[in-house]
Structure 1
Amino acid sequence: MKRILLIEDESSVVSFIRKGLSEEGYEVSVALDGNQGTHMAMTYEYDVIILDIMLPDKNGLEICKEIRIYNKKVAILFLTALGTAENVVLGLETGADDYLVKPFKFIELQARIKSLLRRTDPAQLAPVAEPYLYKFADIELNDLTKTVKRGETVITFTSTEYRLLLLFLKNPKRVLSRTEILDQVWGVDFDMGTNVVDVYVNYLRKKLEQNNALRVLQTVIGMGYVLKDE
């Protein structure tokens, strides 16, 4: 049984989510304020944490940052009424894996949770295929050790950034649409309603283009992105 921590102070939302997820077979724990949520997230093990931003005592952004200091693996989903692009970017930058805006449909929340679990549960991951080394220009990714180098510089990526880079390295010089990227990296085949793909491509660019390195992730206007060195 997968364990979910819901950190939310709206009783109607708590009741709706807990009932729906319990019926789907999840074990749901609830924290009604920021301090309680932080304590539970640090004390017990969960597969997914669903986190509001506007909470009593401590906001969700602070909680997410604190969790990520000690736990890099647990999947974190922001569920909040703050739906501007700036809020989405800020939420992802604190370490969240996904961001869903209220009001929402339960079927979409359920799909997001399943996608997060597929990405974080080793039992559901496909075995590493050979070859495990992916190279493009001066970039080298070792999918056994999960390390990435550009030239002689080792670059550290979050799990989502890593999966996105691996997708591009597996498809060099091929234009990938945002929809295809969402499907392959986030495991959803519908529009997430945010510019999450654009945000993460920019994250990759910033890390790959340190020390004035050549840009290899190119934008194809109206179509998507492509990995090329021309």
Structure 2
Amino acid sequence: MERILIIEDEDKIARLLEMELGYEGYTVDCALTGREGLRKAASGQWDVILLDIMLPELSGLEVLRRLRQTDEFTPIILLTARGSTPDKVSGLNLGANDYMTKPFEIEEVLARIRACIRTRKSNQQAAAGSHPLLLLDDLTINTRSREVVRGGVPVELTPKEFALLLYLVENRNQVLSREQIINEVWGYDFVGDTNVVDVYIRYIRKKVDYPFPKQLIHTFRGVGYCIKESEA
């Protein structure tokens, strides 16, 4: 039975989420402040954390930052106010896996949770059943430690960026459509625009391609993306 932590200071929203998630069979706990949420998050094993950005005592972004210092793997979905694009970007850069904009439909929350759990299990199974090192040109990915190195330089990626890069490398030399990437990295239940793929490709390129002389990730306009060894 999957365990979900809700860190949300709006009591009505917290109670609604707790009731709906409990009805779906999840084990649920709640925290109403940032400090309480950080303490509960650090003291238990959670399959997904729902984290509001606007929290008393400690902001959601600060909770996220502190959690990611010791836990890179637990999926975290941010709950944000409409129009808070800078907070969303900051949250994704700090390591959030996804975000939901209030007000939201409970069906979409459930779909995002299922997608996060499925992706995490798939990554764990792949890492356990395969050789831990993936090599492409001067890029090395350790699927167990989730370390990425290019040209001897460590590359820091958020969980979603890592999942996307891993999928590209596992399917090297293949042109992957945005729909394929969405289905495999975000999950079939993803509700949103496929432009999210373009956004994350830009994030990865800034870390994996642009600091280096040769490009690995290639755009095929109107089709999708492909990663392949750099040409001499």
What residue is the counterpart of 1:205 in the other structure? 205
TM-score for the superposition, normalised by structure 1: 0.84
Aligned residues: 230
C-alpha contact (below 8 Å) 1:51/1:60 kept by paired residues: yes
What residue is the counterpart of 1:125 in the other structure? 125
Aligned pair in 2 of structure 1 residues 158, 198: CA closer, same or farther (>3 Å)? same
Matched, 1:221 2:221: yes
Task: Give CA deviations for 1:141-172 in whole Å, capped at 9, x if unaligned.
Answer: 45466544433434343432222112212333
Distance 2:158 2:152 in 1: 20
Instruction: For structure 1, list consecutive stretches of 5 or more residues without a partner in the other structure.
Output: none
C-alpha contact (below 8 Å) 2:209/2:217 kept by paired residues: no
| Amino acid in structure 1 at the alignment position of 2:125 | L
C-alpha displacement of 1:57: 2.2
C-alpha displacement of 1:64: 0.6
Distance 1:143 1:67 in 2: 21
C-alpha contact (below 8 Å) 2:114/2:189 kept by paired residues: no
Aligned pair in 2 of structure 1 residues 65, 159: CA closer, same or farther (>3 Å)? same
Q: Secondary structure at the match of 2:61?
A: helix
What residue is the counterpart of 2:29 in the other structure? 29
C-alpha contact (below 8 Å) 2:92/2:158 kept by paired residues: no
Cα RMSD after superposing both structures? 2.8
Aligned pair in 2 of structure 1 residues 151, 215: CA closer, same or farther (>3 Å)? same
Distance 2:139 2:174 in 1: 17
Distance 1:34 1:80 in 2: 14
Q: Secondary structure at the match of 1:226?
A: strand
Aligned pair in 2 of structure 1 residues 61, 169: CA closer, same or farther (>3 Å)? same
What residue is the counterpart of 1:73 in the other structure? 73
| Amino acid in structure 2 at the alignment position of 1:58 | L
What residue is the counterpart of 2:99 in the other structure? 99
Task: Give CA deviations for 1:160-211 in whole Å, capped at 9, x if unaligned.
Answer: 2222112212333433222221111122354424843233212221221364
Task: Give CA deviations for 1:11-57 in whole Å, capped at 9, x if unaligned.
Answer: 22122211110011111111112222222222333221101111222
| Amino acid in structure 2 at the alignment position of 1:25 | G
C-alpha contact (below 8 Å) 1:219/1:226 kept by paired residues: yes
Q: Secondary structure at the match of 1:110?
A: helix
What residue is the counterpart of 2:89 in the other structure? 89
Identity of aligned residues (%): 40
| Amino acid in structure 2 at the alignment position of 1:80 | T
| Amino acid in structure 2 at the alignment position of 1:183 | N
Aligned pair in 2 of structure 1 residues 61, 12: CA closer, same or farther (>3 Å)? same
C-alpha displacement of 1:77: 0.6
Q: Secondary structure at the match of 1:125?
A: helix
| Amino acid in structure 2 at the alignment position of 1:103 | P
C-alpha displacement of 1:85: 4.2
C-alpha contact (below 8 Å) 1:51/1:77 kept by paired residues: yes
Equivalent residues in 2 for 1:8-87, closer than 5 Å: 8-87=8-87
C-alpha displacement of 1:82: 3.7
Matched, 1:188 2:188: yes
Distance 1:35 1:127 in 2: 33
Aligned pair in 2 of structure 1 residues 85, 129: CA closer, same or farther (>3 Å)? same
Task: Give CA deviations for 1:59-88 in whole Å, capped at 9, x if unaligned.
Answer: 211111111112222211102224454332
| Amino acid in structure 2 at the alignment position of 1:177 | S
Q: Secondary structure at the match of 1:49?
A: strand
Instruction: For structure 2, list consecutive stretches of 5 or more residues without a partner in the other structure.
Output: none
